[in-house]
Amino acid sequence: MTTKSLIIPAAGSGSRMQKETPKPFLELSGATILEHTVRQFLSLDGLVQVVVATSDEYLSHANTILDKVLPEDVKGYSVSGGDERQDSIRNALAVLPDVDLVMIHDAVRPFVEAKRIVECCKEAQRSGAAILGVPAKDTIKRVDDSQFVEETPDRNFLWQAQTPQVFHKNVIVKAFEKAKRDRFSGTDDASLVEYLGRKVRIVKGSQTNFKITYPLDLDIARMLIEKKTG
Ligand code: C5P
């Protein structure tokens, strides 16, 4: 059985949500979004550790949530997040034990399905790096500084990256080391692995695994949770 560690970035200001409380700590149906998210991973074979990266004020809140939801054989940690998502992940990577796979999953994607996580882990085990994603449904424009369109890439080759993003431990550790040396920054973890020169495979996910980003997303999340809990 492959052993797995789960890193959950849950820091950041949440400015797009226009709320004081950071998104992962907003409540939906009596539990924080972070709690809903962690629970999606608990049926996974070989899970040994969950690390949450969060701002210092929320460290103890994160610990309380982990204590509540994790079974005894899964260790929970919370670590301080950084200014950028990449810094938050770097701090979490520093406390990894000896595991086969590292899964990185946004705290604000509570609707990821367990079967998709399993598929993504299987592919990562085979190829070293795999992420969930969905084919782009909108036409995507590349623009210049003044918002003039420069290019319309062929939509058939465009996918939206989601999480989890799953890697062999040595691959993601090396990718973060190289990114630090070269001061390379990316908006997801796979882009650091691509920069390392390794292939990343996309596994088809689903639209329900959306990232709660704007107030409208929170309304949709509430509806989905209410539907699920009846
Ligand atoms: O800001 P973005 O939408 O990319 O956030 C994705 C995830 O990364 C969220 O779960 C957020 O809490 C986390 N994040 C973080 N540290 C930051 C910024 C974002 O852990 N500095």
The per-residue pLDDT for 226 is 86
Distances (CA, A) of 27 to 74, 120, 161, 219: 24, 28, 26, 12
Structurally, at CATH architecture level, domain 4-224 sits in Alpha-Beta Complex (3.90)
* Sign of the Cα pseudo-torsion (95, 69, 22, 117, in order): positive
Q: Whose CA is closest to atom 11 on ligand 1?
A: 10
Per-residue tokens: 193: 């692995």
**Given the CA of residue 24, which atom of ligand 1 is nearest to it?**
12
- Does the C-beta of 10 come closer than 6 Å to ligand 1? yes
Q: pTM of the entire structure?
A: 0.96
Task: Answer whether 102's CB lies under 8 Å from 167's CB.
Answer: yes
pLDDT at 62 over 90: yes
Query: Average of pLDDT values for 140-168?
Result: 98
- Does the C-beta of 83 come closer than 6 Å to ligand 1? yes
Task: Answer whether 41's CB lies under 8 Å from 68's CB.
Answer: no
Taking the domains of the chain in order of start, what are their residue ranges?
A: 4-224
Distances (CA, A) of 42 to 24, 72, 104, 142, 213: 18, 12, 14, 39, 24
**C-alpha span between 149 and 130 (Å, rounded):** 31
- Does the C-beta of 7 come closer than 6 Å to ligand 1? no
For ligand 1, mutation pick of 6, 90, 106 (most atoms within 8 Å of CB)? 106
- pLDDT tens per residue, range 86-119: 999 999 999 999 999 999 999 999 999 999 999 9
- pLDDT tens per residue, range 138-150: 999 999 999 999 9
- Does the C-beta of 9 come closer than 6 Å to ligand 1? yes
Task: Answer whether 171's CB lies under 8 Å from 96's CB.
Answer: no
**C-alpha span between 198 and 180 (Å, rounded):** 17
- Does the C-beta of 35 come closer than 6 Å to ligand 1? no
- Does the C-beta of 128 come closer than 6 Å to ligand 1? no
Under the banding of pLDDT at 50, 70 and 90, the label for residue 193 is: very high
**Ligand 1 centre and the CA of 146: distance in Å?**
27
Query: Average of pLDDT values for 193-210?
Result: 97
